[in-house]
Amino acid sequence: MDARGPKPVLYVAACALLDADGRILIARRPEGKPMAGLWEFPGGKIEPGETPEQAVVRELREELSVEPCERCLHPFAFVSHAYPDFHIVMPFFLCRTWDGFPQPNEGQELAWVRKEKLREYRMPAADLPLAAELRDRL
């Protein structure tokens, strides 16, 4: 807490889609959104009453027209990170099986990236440990 009071805590769920060649899908935040231009993992805020898995399924459908099954979402890591204006808690899943071909429904740029190359893409601070975990543990 500081003089401005406690920071809001934001619960976000995200997912690494992994293709058969071991590449990971990342998306570039479009102009007009906070943190525009940074590369991140597909996902978004967990709505009230939703599980993290349900939030990932909904966001993948909205953002990418991709349908994973909930059972295909494997818990991989989580983040708890203090941004200057909010604190993010982010369960993070791996998914190797889904229906559909990812479409950039929100005008976002998409990239399939090898884990070794993730560090070449500028990411939000909260994602840096996730990129390192993917490099080390996949």
Residues of the binding site for 8-oxo-dGTP: 29, 40-43
Positions at the binding site:
29, 40-43, 63
Region near ligand 8GT per CB under 6 A, out of 64-72, 95-103, 109-117, 122-130: 122-130
Among 16, 18, 41, 66, binds ligand 8GT (CB under 6 A): 41
Among 94, 118, 126, 131, binds ligand 8GT (CB under 6 A): 126
Q: How far apart are CA 118 and CA 47, in angstroms?
A: 28
Residue nearest to ligand 8GT (CB): 44
- CB 1 to ligand 8GT: min, Å: 20
User: Read out DSSP for 21-86?
Assistant: TSEEEEEEPPTTSTTTT-EE-SEEEPPTT--HHHHHHHHHHHHH--EE-GGG-EEEEEEEEE-SS-
Encoded tokens for 133: 């975990």
The string over 45-72, giving b where at least 16 C-beta atoms fall within 10 Å of a residue's C-beta and e elsewhere, is ebeeeeebbebbbbbbeebbebebeeeb
- CB 15 to ligand 8GT: min, Å: 9
- CB 12 to ligand 8GT: min, Å: 4
Does residue 12 touch ligand 8GT according to CB under 6 A? yes
Find out whether 113 and 126 touch, Cβ atoms under 8 Å: no
Interface ranges with ligand 8GT (CB under 6 A): 10, 12, 14, 33-35, 40-41, 43-45, 88, 124, 126-127
